[in-house]
Amino acid sequence: MPKVTIAKIEGRARGGGSEIALAMDMCFTAIGKAIFGHPEVAIGLVPGGGATQRLPRLMGRGRALEVLLGCNDLSAELAERYGYINRALPAEELTPFCREAGLPHRSFPAHAIAHAKAAVDTGAFSSITEGLLVEAHASDLSVVSEVTQARVKEALKAGAETYDGELEMDYLSRLSPTR
């Protein structure tokens, strides 16, 4: 999917619920409320919604097997430490954080998001050689985009290559939204 997807977990995400969260681009959770787990193997099932493929890529083989074969719950803090999720936050900070995390992407050029995601996915799920080739191609496609060219001009005009612009990057908030 060429758009950004974010999972916000404030309760239990076991089995299929966990697999839906794993399929998102990013996952943020509430400390003390979010729980992750895969009980399938304990009852004779193999997870069938992507957990056996996504967990090892996120946390490594050993930890993935610990989660999948252990069938125990993981707290938000442990899930964060294992790489299962992006970040565990205090419950009262979760909604504002997720809202903020999603907002900047709304004004970013859609083609840049789509190409960056495709390159990351190829690199994460294929060889580094294939990933680098896809990245180079995606980079070339973004450079020739009229939207990108106009946005680069706008960023330069707003001070992107000045000392303060490079140091603080506050010019990003002044760029026109793209659709």
Domains detected in the chain = 6-104 (3.90.226.10), 107-174 (no CATH)
Which of the residues 19, 77, 130, 146 is marked catalytic? 19
Question: Which among 10, 40, 92, 100 is annotated as catalytic?
Answer: 40
Confidence of residue 105 (pLDDT cuts 50, 70, 90): low
End-to-end CA distance of the chain: give it in Å, rounded. 16
| 146 is annotated as an active-site residue | no
How remote is the C-alpha of 149 from its chain's centroid? Answer: 26
Higher pLDDT, 61 or 1: 61
Calculate mean pLDDT across residues 103-131. Answer: 79
Q: Are 43 and 153 in contact (CB under 8 A)?
A: no
Is 19 a catalytic site residue?
yes
pTM, two decimal places = 0.76
Beta carbons within 10 angstroms of residue 69's beta carbon: 11
